[in-house]
Amino acid sequence: MKIATFNINGIKARIEALTEWLAEAQPDVACLQEIKSVDEAFPRAHFEDLGYNVETHGQKSFNGVAILSKLPLEDVTRGLPGDDTDEQARWIEATVVGRTAIRVCGLYLPNGNPAPGPKYDYKLAWMKRMQARVTELLATEEPLVFCGDYNVIPQPEDAAKPEDWKTDALFLPESRAAFRRLIHLGLTDAIRTRDPRPGTYTYWDFQRGAWERNNGIRIDHLLLSPQAADLMRETGIDKAVRGREKPSDHVPAWVDLDA
DNA sequence: ATGGTAGCGGTGCTA
């Protein structure tokens, strides 16, 4: 079962690039972030025609997550528990029914800039809520995959120029510590474990020729519970997608599970 | 220190 994460930065603008990548990469499951669309405006029928089941958790203009799956999806839930006043669409869960059932959580973690400030406070509070949800799900001892745009650069080697990110919410010590706390619950960073080659990033800014200079960062992650890590066969980052027409600023990252 | 680009939506916000 090939599970991918892809921050598409607007479904309307990315429908062609996404369709091309789906055709060549053939993921069984694709978790999408920043669909920037309400549910009613998501081109559901287009992806259903390609053989995908479609579940969205959208929002006007900003954020928004979705799961496309060739396999049946069960027990779909929307929103990260822990704050009923949070109206930002950043979390969706579903159980993918393959040979082995996998609980997949697609997430778009808050950016947090500028830091310090209310946006950074929201990011850290959100990560605390995620910690609680992950803890809850780990107790089920099911195979779990938490994938998405984490907006966290875990280590200096995950940035081409780490010194440029010293005061950025993506690399501040509190953000990295909160990410480490997730890892220390027992999750495996699939890409880091299986594809730790330097210079393999998942995001290059649209500005200042970041792509041309390979000035990237690795912020899109797939974290696996022990039961999912045991099934891990292969991982990858589809870097070439960034060099095409009308690209997102992120590229897909994926894991293949024996499930 | 600044401003550079992209998407959404029709202005300024978010990243």
Q: Which helix (H) or strand (E) is A73 found in, with range?
A: strand A73-78
Quick one: CA dihedral A244, A247, A250, A256, positive or negative?
A: negative
Residue A7 assigned to a binding site: yes
- Distance CA A228 to C1' B4 in A: 42
Q: What is the pLDDT of residue A196?
A: 72
CATH superfamily to which A2-257 belongs: Endonuclease/exonuclease/phosphatase (3.60.10.10)
A220-224 and A232-237: which strand pairing? unpaired
Tell me which DSSP letter residue A239 carries.
Answer: G
Mean pLDDT by 10 residues, chain A (259 residues): 98 98 98 98 98 98 98 98 97 98 98 97 98 98 98 97 97 98 98 84 97 97 98 97 98 98
Q: Which nucleotide is nearest to A41 (CA to C1')?
A: B8
Which DSSP state fits A254? E
Residues in contact with A24: Cβ distance below 8 Å, sequence separation at least 6, in sequence order: none
DSSP A9-40: S-HHHHHHHHHHHHHHH--SEEEEE---S-GG
The pLDDT score that the predictor gives to residue A61 is 97
Catalytic one of A28, A52, A57, A108: A108
Closest Cα to residue A203, out of A248, A234, A156, A256? A248
Domain positions in chain A are 2-257
Task: Say which nucleotide is closest to residue A111, CA to C1' distance.
Answer: B15
Contact at 8 Å (CB) between A250 and A21?
no
Known binding residue A111? Answer is no
The pTM (predicted TM-score) of the whole model is 0.98
Nearest to A256 by CA among A148, A145, A152: A145
Tokens of A253: 């990252």
